[in-house]
Structure 1
Amino acid sequence: MKYIIASLFLVFLSACKSETKEPINTVSIKEDVTFLASDALEGRQTGSDGEQKAAKYIAERFQNIGLQEKGTKGYLQTFSFRPKTDPHQKVNYTVKDGDSTITGTNVIGFIDNKAENTIIIGAHYDHLGLGAEGSLHRGEKAIHNGADDNASGVAVLLNLAEKLKAKNINNNYLFMAFSGEEMGLLGSNYFVKNPTIDTKKVNYMINMDMVGRLKADSTLAVYGVGTSPILKQTVTSNNSKFKIVAKESGVGPSDHTSFYNADIPVLHLFTGQHEDYHKPSDDTEKLNYEGMKTISNYIFEIITDLDNNGKLPFRETKNESDEVPKFEVGLGVTPDYLYDGLGMRIDGTRSNTPATNAGIQKGDIVMKMGTHDITDMMSYMKALASFKKGDSTKVIVKRDEELVEADVTF
């Protein structure tokens, strides 16, 4: 790993010294992920030395590709904040240096095509360090490399930056690697409040968060298709490779939400959660690199299709999260958010939870909980809301073609 990292830095040094006018694009998606998800960066927690190394790497990649600086200091836009002690309080960015103050760094590059409007392409590059809040790891501290979350999104962003040089020139392009996403979309939120371009001239925003685990059935979730009238048709008509699961809402747990809240149309791409989510096991060898290339090509085709459409109108969407019922118990499983069949398919399980204690397995499809029929994710959450800690119920799951009954205690 150390030799790979050293060789990548040599690529940058030679590129910076080159007198060639054209940028030298020699770094692959896999090489970008390998560096960003290496142990040397210690999980890229916001404000850490590892995150600063990642920021430097991305800035040098931007320079090598030939992007203009569009931060407040070169490619960088820093912001300081004090972590929230109450999950409902707003983050205060206007804090003085001192105890408990953290400084995050957005990395921002620009392709200026002298166009009227600008497309923003973003991905967060921070992660959970040695196991910050949000980690699902139980045990001793360990590096959370975040290969899928979200070195994958940054690598695809860099690949798109190379593709879009001197292509589809009816828009400018702003490429942003966000900090502070894991702590509450802080970097994207800060940029929207402190933009380095005129946000009224932003055409639309594309966000990539966890795009590294494309499955064998090629299911790809695309959120935000309802945020402009043309987006759903565009997403569908340019697809020949994926089983698309399209979601209307522009609100979700990633950085596109910050831009949607500023009345900017958004698209967010996601290949699904998995058992390694927010764990040290989210590592490079588990990624589907060919799938990531295909996703990059797909996004490029969407941008190409929209190149002559002018500025897209914004449309407000229904916030699907407003309908989510509150529940105090769970099975202890990771749902398959890309499953669109009948029931709720389980994409992963955790040990010593109600599900595993009852013999429920990964791949099972929950069809019934007590008296509640489970038809989709929403009905599953509504069913959970009817139970309290200590309650017991029968759960029926579909395993292959067989219905299996399990006794679950929450």
Structure 2
Amino acid sequence: MKYIITSLFLMSLMACKTETDESIKTISIKDDVTFLASDALEGRQTGSNGEQKAAAYIAERFKNIGLQEKGTEGYFQSFSFRPKTDPHQEVNYTVKDGDSTITGTNVIGFIDNNAENTIIIGAHYDHLGLGAEGSLHRGETAIHNGADDNASGVAVLLNLANRLKGKNINNNYLFMAFSGEEMGLLGSNYFVKNPTIDTKKIDYMINMDMVGRLKADSTLAVYGVGTSPILKQTITSNNSNFKLVVKESGVGPSDHTSFYNAEIPVLHFFTGQHEDYHKPSDDTEKLNYEGMQTISNYIFEIITDLDNNGKLPFRETKNESSEVPKFEVGLGVTPDYLYDGKGMRIDGTRSNTPATNAGIKKGDIVIKIGDNDITDMMSYMKALSTFKKGNTTKVTVKRGEELIETEVTF
């Protein structure tokens, strides 16, 4: 049934366009997001029927674009696992039957240019279903469509797959839509341990996760620029549209980390977190589709620039996440992770939290908590680590040109 649904959807898209052999190429980024983030897929939770419908759709798109099958069964690479009961334990990949076993499916397509090395372009397509662990929704059960997280990344991946056919032929290209990202980077981790190509021939890996909310100031985060000596220069020299926020580290909460840990250079693209993150309100009408096309163009230019550079050398980077202090309290806000000014800017608030109860609003910039000056995200987290639940302290925020001091109880 899932294959019938997918085929009918693609046929309906093509019927609205020209009836030539090239018509599949006119399927837009928005078209792909519309299907992947539709209620019919029920949030694409790993192992669900909705995720299987999404996998079938992506495989059908790969086929029509002209990608070769590079999974273990056609375009598909399935993996079964038992969910972790302890967050610190290793994932137990297994094929045993049983109620506690979940099966996820990576979708893998290949452009073979008979080149020595291969570039991997990836994005996860799973999400939180009706509100799996990690959901920030409070209320009645609802579908978490994950338009930005991460139908957006998959749609840009498909756009790039279409554009790279016959272009920049000094590398091959492996396109991967990962499953199990929301449960702990499971699909990408499984592929690295069970690859369908020679991993020693992987040039570098590009990952796109939440690239659908490019803001008016065009801020784009690019992580992993320190994982090969040439990457920082490359992303800077090809940029004419974005206010770039660059991070050296190849480690982060998305699938590029699996490849960095296998000593493969990585670049990860991200337009920032927002109030709808991991909530049912992350829907299609809130995406910036023109911005997504601009990001696709930018990644294409980066790939083009690196086409004649041979295999990039890997360089280990500092693991910034290992320095994050532990804290048990928070303001109950969504930080603006792309803000590069002084302080911690608030990108979203939730009702009945320490921040909103103290009158702190979206757009405020936190510059002091208690005796701690806040200059960036790290100093913000270090400040929080000094408080416990029930503590009360003064918080100073900048709102426009005004400084406001308020009292916060954690």
TM-score class, shorter: over 0.9
Q: Offset at 1:5?
A: 7.8
Equivalents in 1 of 2:78, 2:13: separation in Å?
A: 23
| Deviation by residue 1:376-395 (Cα, 9 ceiling, x = unmatched) | 11000000000011110000
Q: Equivalent residue for 2:363? A: 363
Matches within 5 A, 1:268-279: 268-279=268-279
User: Per-residue deviation at 1:100?
Assistant: 1.0
1:24 Cα deviation from its structure 2 partner? 3.4
- In structure 1, distance between residues paired with 2:321 and 2:70: 34
Write the distance in 2 (CA, Å) between the matches of 1:283 and 1:82: 30
CA positional deviation for 1:94: 2.3
Aligned to 1:163: 163
Question: In the alignment, is residue 129 of structure 1 matched against residue 129 of structure 2?
Answer: yes
Identity within the alignment, %: 87
Paired residues, number: 404
Report if aligned partners of 2:156, 2:293 keep a CA contact under 8 Å in 1.
Answer: yes
The amino acid across from 1:70 in the alignment is K
Amino acid at match of 2:51: E
Residue 307 of structure 1 is matched in structure 2 by: 307
Shift of residue 26, structure 1, vs aligned partner: 2.5
CA drift at 1:168: 0.2
> How far is 1:114 from its partner?
0.1
* Aligned residue in 2 for 1:9: 10
Following the alignment from structure 2 to structure 1, what is the Cα–Cα distance between the partners of residues 304 and 7? 36
Aligned-partner Cα distance in 1 for 2:308–2:14: 38
Mapped contact 1:82–1:95 kept (Cα < 8 A): no
Give the equivalent residue in structure 2 for 1:194: 194
Contact in 2 for aligned 1:12/1:60 (Cα 8 Å): no
Matched, 1:243 2:243: yes
Measured against aligned partners, the alpha-carbon deviations of 1:43-72 in whole angstroms (never above 9, x if no partner) come to 000000000000000000000000000000
Question: Counterpart in 1 of 2:212?
Answer: 212
Instruction: Report the aligned-residue RMSD.
Output: 1.6
Q: Structure 2 matches for 1:380-399, cutoff 5 A? A: 380-399=380-399
Residue number in structure 2 paired with 1:327: 327
Report the Cα offset of residue 106 of structure 1. Answer: 0.1
Task: Assess if the C-alpha contact under 8 Å between 2:137 and 2:278 holds in 1.
Answer: yes
Letter in 2 for 1:10: M
- Indicate the SS of the match to 2:393: strand
Amino acid at match of 2:175: F
Q: CA deviation at 1:98?
A: 1.1
2:322 counterpart letter in structure 1: D
Q: Which moved more, 1:131-140 or 1:22-31?
A: 22-31
Which ranges in structure 1 are unaligned for 5 or more consecutive residues?
Answer: none
Aligned residue identity for 2:73: K
| Matched ranges for 1:91-130 at <5 A | 91-130=91-130
Match of residue 56 from structure 1: 56
Q: Does 2:175 align with 1:175?
A: yes
SS in 2 for 1:108: strand
| Distance change (3 Å), C-alpha of 1:25 and 1:38 | same
Q: What is the CA–CA distance in structure 2 between the aligned matches of 1:13 and 1:198, rounded to whole Å? A: 36
Alignment check: 8 A CA contact 1:23 1:65 kept: no
Q: Which amino acid aligns with 1:30?
A: K
Residues in 2 aligned to 1:242 and 1:92: alpha-carbon distance in whole angstroms? 41
Query: After superposition, what is the alpha-carbon deviation per residue over 1:248-293, rounded to whole angstroms, capped at 9, x for unaligned?
Result: 0000000000000000000000000000000000000000000000
* Uncovered stretches (5+) of structure 2, i.e. residues with no partner: none
Kept in 2, the 8 Å contact 1:23–1:66? The answer is no
CA distance in 1, matches of 2:118, 2:345: 39
Question: What whole-Å deviation, never above 9, does each CA across 1:352-377 have from its counterpart, x for those lacking one?
Answer: 11000000000000000010000011
CA distance in 2, matches of 1:25, 1:375: 47
SS, match of residue 346 in structure 1: strand
Give the secondary-structure state (helix, strand or coil) at the position aligned to 1:25.
helix
SS in 2 for 1:301: helix
CA positional deviation for 1:11: 5.1
- Report the equivalent of 1:45: 45
Contact 2:6 2:57 in 1 (8 A): no
On the 8 A contact 1:398/1:404 being kept in 2, the answer is: yes
Alignment deviations for residues 73-122 of structure 1 (CA, whole Å, 9 cap, x no partner):
00000000011111111111124011111000000000000000000000
TM-score (norm. length: structure 1): 0.96
CA distance in 2, matches of 1:273, 1:105: 26
Deviations 1:158-181 (A, max 9, x none): 000011000000000000000000
**1:148 CA drift (Å):** 0.1
